[in-house]
Amino acid sequence: MKRIGSILAWILLSAIPAIAQHAIKPQIVAHAAVVVPTTTSAACPTSAHCVNLSWTAPADASGSSTYNVYRMAGACPASAPTSTAGFTKLTAAPQAATTYSDSTVTPGSWCYVATQVAGALESAPSNNVLAAILPLSPGSMVVTSAN
């Protein structure tokens, strides 16, 4: 039995470098940070839940550039989307600001993207970001009786 054990040990130790050489290397996938919004935003003072978004203007943005904001329920795709298919447009019309406050959001996971609009043309979506909206905590707890 000792001889079999030492042969197995030799086989395993001999095989490890070969296995390591052919192992699949992990791929690093960048995910947007989970945002847990607060209700104290000046942009959403009366909303129970709110997500405040901001982005940088693209290099080719001009003074007449505007933006659309889109939202999708659930987790964001692992890679940036190439279209807004599956997303709901939140902006009624393109806006000039590089910020947006979504006060219609409800508890759950929401994925957001923005696009640049120049005239009749709309860019591909920006990177996606995830907002995890937690339900509000119960409030005004009091003791109603104690023995």
* Residue 45 · residue 37 · CB < 8 Å: no
pTM confidence score: 0.68
pLDDT of residue 6: 38
Q: Where are the domains of the chain?
A: 51-55+65-133
Binned at pLDDT 50, 70 and 90, residue 29 comes out as very low
Structure tokens at 83: 């279209």
Is the confidence at residue 128, as pLDDT, over 60? yes
Percentage, residues of the chain above pLDDT 70: 68
Structure tokens at 128: 């996606």
Query: CA 139 to CA 135: how far, in whole Å?
Result: 12
Q: Judging by beta carbons within 10 Å of its beta carbon (0-12, 13-18, 19+), is residue 88 exposed, middle or buried?
A: exposed
pLDDT digits (tens, 9 = 90+) for 74-106: 999 998 889 999 999 999 999 999 999 999 999
pLDDT of residue 31: 32
Is the confidence at residue 49, as pLDDT, over 60? yes
Confirm or reject CATH 2.60.40 for domain 51-55+65-133, answering yes or no. yes
